[in-house]
Structure 1
Amino acid sequence: MITELRTFLVAGQLENFAATAERIGLTQSAISAQIRRLEQDFGYALFERTGRSVRLSRAGVVAMEQAREIVARYERMRDIARNEAIKGDLEIGVASAGYASLLAMAMEEFLKVFSEVHFSVTVDREQALLARLAEGGLDMAIMARPEAHLMQNLEWRLLHAQPYVLAVPQSTGPLPWRHILQTYPLIRYACRSFAGDKVDAFLKAQNLTVHDIAQTEEIGLILDMVAKEAGVAIVPFFSNLSGHENIRFISIPEFVEKKEVGVVMARKKKSIALKKFLEFLTDFGR
């Protein structure tokens, strides 16, 4: 069934069985047969079919996320017999508490397989983390994509892109996002970080006049204030936010730019432990 799930992941990304067949190296009928086997096992359609075109169904979108996790876990099982060979210390930097949940999930799964690796985690400003990376004091740092060019000895890898959304108290009526921003106080995502200035630029581009009452880089503090109905906020959205009590998240179609979150590392040869942990981070960052 892992073979079928791998095929499903490619087909779900391309939404084209002919292109999937070409990429995998099978016939289109073989691809269709694999997808049908999955649909028969699951009891629901993964794709909506119209003539020769296909697109993911609502259930298929959810299944894609779970399939990624299943395939990733299967791949990690190959490492169980070799886990004793991977050991040592990993120095990880985190630029915002908002990335802590991603790091924690990846570390939890990683340590189930590679228990001889020890983590040391530092939370600091982006510039400070970049300085430590350049000096060799960190193995990697999780942060928003730096606006300025990195030093030649550093490289950037994207983990995921977060859309900006409007966070409002549950009690807020079903009003357009623009009306909400002009009516309620704004808790501003501080522009001192690499990504925070995107909010300021968007508000200016939309010619919106808002009433600021506070600014901070800490997403947790912003959401606590919104939950207590102190105001509203524009924040980058990631999956863990959806469970926050007393808060609704409203999409802003006009805010097309996204916050790119990834890792910065030295270009030098990386340890096996670091390479393996990067695989786990990439899986959870999708």
Structure 2
Amino acid sequence: MDTEFLRTFVAVVDQGSMAAAARLLNITPAAVAQQIHTLERGIGTPLIARVGRTVNITEAGARALPRARALLRDVADLRTVAKDDPSAGELRLGAGTNALTGMLPDILARMVGRFPGIQVFIKPGYSPELHRAVDNGDLDAAVVLQAPFALPKTCDWELLREEPLVVLAPARMADRDPHELLATEPLIRYDRSQWGGRQADQYLRTAGITPRERFELNALNAIAVMVDRGLGVSLVPDWARPWPEGLNLVRLPLPMPCEPRRIGVIWSRSTIRIRLVQAFLQESRAAMASSNA
């Protein structure tokens, strides 16, 4: 059985369609379909049910999926163990949306410069799911928000960046009081179901502000564009650049103290790639120090 076909099967399930999996794997949709067909023929049962342009996993596929993920992890581990060079191999990372564009590229540029033989798999996602992925061994490390709960004993976390809350407003409102803006202008709310959004909600409650809510979403770049278009103001963390270009905004500091959004690295102590994780941590610290200089 070709493990690449298993990788294709997992990609199809995770992406929700063969076309999306093809883009991820950089192969054609026809090649994805052929690999899935060959895998199903080898196993002897359908794993994927095609429904128009989307796919659903079958009961047999659902039973096979955890084993497929585990086998792919074992193959990656085997490659790492077989290499004599501890600085080579595959590092499996996760990163939140803003970290993917604002922090991770600089860190990876330093990593590749130091370890040209390294391969990096990057899984985008939200912090709660990335925490779970590190804890269960699917990822070696992830750049995530600090968890509002105690970490499992198998994991460690290190702070890289603190992002204070600011009021995001059109530039023409630069001379107005931040609390007055939050109380009188329509609010584009940072999603309260997410860890960062809860901090903004807690600040509004502590300040006794009942906002005029208009929108609620978990997409900071989109919030910035909506504020620029005059749809309202927002209370958000002062997240790492780059931001969308051409925006005419101000970031107003808050008059009351508040907890910042904290971003750092969580990693598994038991990963066999701990040397690469330690190197990633070292380059992360250096990249953050350079950005703050």
Q: Contact between 1:98 and 1:219, CA under 8 Å: does it hold in 2? A: no
> Which of 275, 278, 282 is the matching residue for 2:281?
278
The equivalent of 1:136 in structure 2 is: 137
- Selected match of 1:257 from 253, 256, 259: 259
Structure 1 alignment gaps of length 5 or more: 1-83
Helix, strand or coil for the counterpart of 1:179?
Answer: helix
Alignment map for 1:63-78 (pairs within 5 Å): none
Deviation at 1:138, TM superposition (A): 0.3
In 1, are the aligned partners of 2:100 and 2:124 still within 8 Å (CA)?
no
Say if 1:247 and 1:259 are closer, same or farther in 2 by CA, change over 3 A. Answer: same
Percent identical residues: 21
Residue deviations 1:136-163 (CA, integer Å, cap 9, x gap)? 1101111111001111211111112111
Question: Secondary structure in 2 aligned to 1:195?
Answer: helix
Size of the aligned set, in residue pairs, is 203
Report what 2:197 is aligned to. Answer: 196
Q: For the residues of structure 1 that align with 2:225 and 2:103, how far apart are their CA atoms?
A: 20
Whole-Å Cα distance in 1 between the matches of residues 227 and 269 of structure 2? Answer: 41
Q: Distance in 2 between matches of 1:247 and 1:268?
A: 45
Q: Is the 8 A contact 2:190 2:235 kept in 1?
A: yes
Q: Distance in 1 between matches of 2:207 and 2:100?
A: 29
Partner of 1:240: helix, strand, or coil? coil
Q: Indicate conservation of the 8 Å contact 2:94/2:122, yes or no.
A: yes
Query: With structure 1 as the length reference, what TM-score do the two structures score?
Result: 0.66
SS at match of 1:165: strand
- Quote the offset at 1:119 in angstroms: 1.3
Judging changes above 3 Å, is the alpha-carbon distance between structure 1 residues 117 and 143 closer, same or farther for their aligned structure 2 residues? Answer: same
Quick check: 216-225 or 240-249, which moved more? 240-249
Query: Counterpart in 1 of 2:269?
Result: 267
Q: Is the 8 A contact 1:96 1:143 kept in 2?
A: no
1:24-173 equivalent positions in 2, closer than 5 A? 86-173=87-174
User: Deviation at 1:178?
Assistant: 1.1
Aligned residue for 2:241, secondary structure, equals helix
Alpha-carbon separation, structure 2, partners of 1:199 and 1:184:
16
Whichever residue aligns with residue 274 of structure 1, its letter is: V
Q: 1:156 to 1:175 in 2, by over 3 A?
A: same
Determine if contact 2:186/2:211 at 8 Å carries over to the other structure. Answer: yes
Distance between the aligned counterparts of 1:252 and 1:226, measured in 2? 18
* 1:98 Cα deviation from its structure 2 partner: 4.6
> After superposition, what is the alpha-carbon deviation per residue over 1:197-240, rounded to whole angstroms, capped at 9, x for unaligned?
01111101111111111112211111111122211111111452
Corresponding letter in the other structure for 2:254? I
CA drift at 1:125:
2.4
Give the letter for the 1:257 counterpart.
E
Gaps (5+ residues) in structure 2?
Answer: 1-84
Matched residues in 2 for 1:241 and 1:249: separation? 15
In structure 1, what is the Cα distance between the partners aligned to 2:251 and 2:242? 9
Q: For 1:276 and 1:176, locate their aligned partners in 2 and report how far apart those are by CA, in whole Å.
A: 45
TM-score by length of 2: 0.64
3-state SS of the aligned residue for 2:270?
coil
Aligned with residue 249 of structure 2, among 247, 250, 270 = 247
Q: Which amino acid aligns with 1:198?
A: Q
Which residue identity lines up with residue 195 of structure 2 in the other structure? F
- Supply the AA of the counterpart residue of 1:277: F
Report the alpha carbon displacement of residue 171 of structure 1 after superposing the two structures with TM: 2.3
Dislocated runs of 4+, deviation >3 Å: 241-244
**CA deviation vs aligned residue, 1:52-107 (integer Å, no higher than 9, x gap):** xxxxxxxxxxxxxxxxxxxxxxxxxxxxxxxx762111111113335532011111
Could you tell me which residue of structure 1 aligns to residue 233 of structure 2? 232
